[in-house]
Structure 1
Amino acid sequence: MSPSPYLQTRRRLVAAAPREIFELLSNPAMHPVIDGSGTVRASNSQGRKLTLGSEFGMQMRLGVPYRISNTVVEFEQDRLIAWRHFSGHRWRYTLEPVGSGTLVSETWDASRLRHKWLLRLMGFTRNTGPNMERTLERLAAQFPDATK
């Protein structure tokens, strides 16, 4: 666990190669499949793979439906991908090969936001960690044959 409620990281060992996991993460159409928060509904990317600078939209629902725009701000093929929401917070995935699998780290970084108190008020600082754990569980479930 991270010491700051505005910078949280969760990790999980996934029985797949970094290349396979990165392929999934760089495909926005797969984000609703692995989302552990239940808020990501659909991608507006139309099958495009993400690269540095890519902009992509997601259809979301948190009580009411809304859309959000993202920009890929960090990118190292098969190792790191991160996107920034319009408000400035980032979602980052780091992939480290270990043994016969990959250690996947998911980080939510809202430390640069001006109005952090609003995230706390809305429960994001409390719910984000458990949501990331569910996301990593769902990500791992996409590679069931990798353990055989």
Structure 2
Amino acid sequence: MSDESKKITVSRTIDASAKDLWDVLSNPARHVELDGSGFIQSDHKTDRITANGQVFTMNMSGAHMGGDYQTDNHVVGYDKDRLLAWKTAPAGTEPPGWQWVWELQADGPDQTTVTLTYDWSGVTDKALLQKVGFPLVSKDQLEDSLNKLAAAVSGS
């Protein structure tokens, strides 16, 4: 399988400034509002994301993990108002290779193209690949996350 077949990317233009979108994306407490997969339950005492190297923890739930669990999300891409990326791992472990990448391209003062990529090309553990059954999140669920971001930033 090529690396390109191990990622899903969706884009949408949202009628909001990159700054306003960033304000939502960089606040893990708001990620439950954006989750098209339904796995995120809440953040776990996290601070706003302000730099590479930060780790934020999320409370999750899903049958693929047997119910409730936590993830540690290691920030690996940070460019304020432009790029936010993190690698996800079961809490207390190192990331096994999948990541989430949000890219913001301002198209004017009140319009931004948002691109969301779910990338599992870095997962090399064959047993994990079979256990998780990547992709765990579908293209439709990612598109729903973009729709939810648009709703969150508009306040509706």
Cα shift at 1:119: 4.3
Cα deviations by residue, 1:49-96 (Å, 9 ceiling, x for unpaired): 102211110011112111111111110010000011122211010000
Does 2:123 match 1:113?
yes
Cα shift at 1:45: 3.3
Return 5+ residue gaps in structure 1 as ranges.
Answer: none
Q: Which amino acid aligns with 1:32?
A: V
- Paired position in structure 2 for 1:71: 74
- Paired position in structure 1 for 2:41: 41
| Distance change (3 Å), C-alpha of 1:132 and 1:119 | farther
Cα shift at 1:8: 1.2
Cα shift at 1:126: 6.8
Identity across the alignment (%):
32
Q: Is the 8 A contact 1:44 1:58 kept in 2?
A: yes
Return 5+ residue gaps in structure 2 as ranges.
Answer: 89-94
Structure 2 residue corresponding to 1:129, chosen from 139, 145, 150: 139
Secondary structure of the 2:85 match is strand
Query: What TM-score, normalized by structure 2, do the two folds share?
Result: 0.82
Structure 1 residue corresponding to 2:97, chosen from 85, 88, 91: 88
Q: Which amino acid aligns with 1:6?
A: K
Q: Would you say how many aligned residue pairs link Structure 1 and Structure 2?
A: 143
- CA distance in structure 1 between the aligned counterparts of 2:99 and 2:136, rounded to whole angstroms: 17
Please report the RMSD computed on the Cα atoms of aligned residues, expressed in angstroms.
2.2
The worse-fitting range, judged by mean Cα deviation, of 35-44 and 84-93 is: 84-93
| Distance change (3 Å), C-alpha of 1:90 and 1:116 | farther
Cα deviations by residue, 1:94-121 (Å, 9 ceiling, x for unpaired): 0001144000000111101113675466
Q: Is the 8 A contact 1:8 1:109 kept in 2?
A: yes
- CA distance in structure 1 between the aligned counterparts of 2:54 and 2:84, rounded to whole angstroms: 11
